[in-house]
Amino acid sequence: MRQNDQVKILLVEDDRSIAESVVDGLTAEGHEVAHAATGAAALAAEGYDMVLLDLGLPDMDGRDVCRQIRQRSSAPIIMLTARTEEFDRVLGLELGADDYVTKPFSFRELAARIRAVGRRTVEQLADSPSADDSNLPQEVGPMLLDRRTRRMHLNGLETQLTAKEFDLLAFLATDIGAVRTRTEILENVWDAHWYGPTKTVDAHVASLRKKLGHSDWIQAVRGVGFRLEPPA
Ligand code: CA
């Protein structure tokens, strides 16, 4: 992400008129835009800072494209969804999307979401460790959490986490043993924009517990939220 807010954007959209107007608008704002009209072309693209991804593509399901982009890139993804398409927000989050815009959208609306997602990413980068001591990997019992490289080792072995699993774990680990409410978790790990589906948190807690190998790592505090602690 550039400091001047200008980003290299990959637009994945098969509708030519939408694509043209989005490309024109973003280019006018000073962004560099690459356009892919198919899922396959999107997966072949490289070197972007952000992805605008149409859910309905001719060759692939946008959800699969989202999942596969997320596996190879940490660039924020904004889903472009049609009102008529059933887009499950929870699923979108689980696939690694950062935000979504419902068609038909105004260019202003899209530009605002791009700025918001870009700002969050810059803040995350700013929050994330650089060279000083506070940014050394955090040890939590047998777990080593490295926010700089976004890697987690458990008992010396690297454990693969999705982007959101890592964010959730890193957030809970900011205060070991403290209870975090679902709302706090949604605000910090996701975005207020996604409000409502708090079961998203539970789904991610469940998958993290599985990867941590012990459900005691993340304890549910009934009616409140969750706390992270190494199992006794
Ligand atoms: Ca489409």
Domain borders along the chain are 8-127, 133-228
What does the pLDDT look like over 131-147, one tens digit per residue? 344 568 899 999 999 98
What does the pLDDT look like over 213-229, one tens digit per residue? 999 999 999 988 999 99
- CATH topology agreement for domains 8-127 and 133-228: no
What Cα–Cα distance (Å) separates residue 77 from each residue in 74, 123, 209, 216?
9, 16, 26, 32
What is the model's pLDDT at position 1? 43
The architecture that CATH gives domain 133-228 is Orthogonal Bundle (1.10)
**Distance of CA 226 from the midpoint of ligand 1 (Å):** 39
Q: How far apart are CA 66 and CA 4, in angstroms?
A: 27
Q: How far apart are CA 181 and CA 120, in angstroms?
A: 21
**Distance of CA 36 from the midpoint of ligand 1 (Å):** 12
Q: Residues whose CB is under 5 A from ligand 1 (ion)?
A: 14, 54, 56
Domain 8-127 bears CATH identifier 3.30.70.3000 = no
Q: How far apart are CA 80 and CA 11, in angstroms?
A: 10
Terminal C-alpha separation, the chain? 42
**Distance of CA 43 from the midpoint of ligand 1 (Å):** 16
Supply the pTM of this predicted model. 0.56
**Distance of CA 103 from the midpoint of ligand 1 (Å):** 10
Strand partners, 151: 146
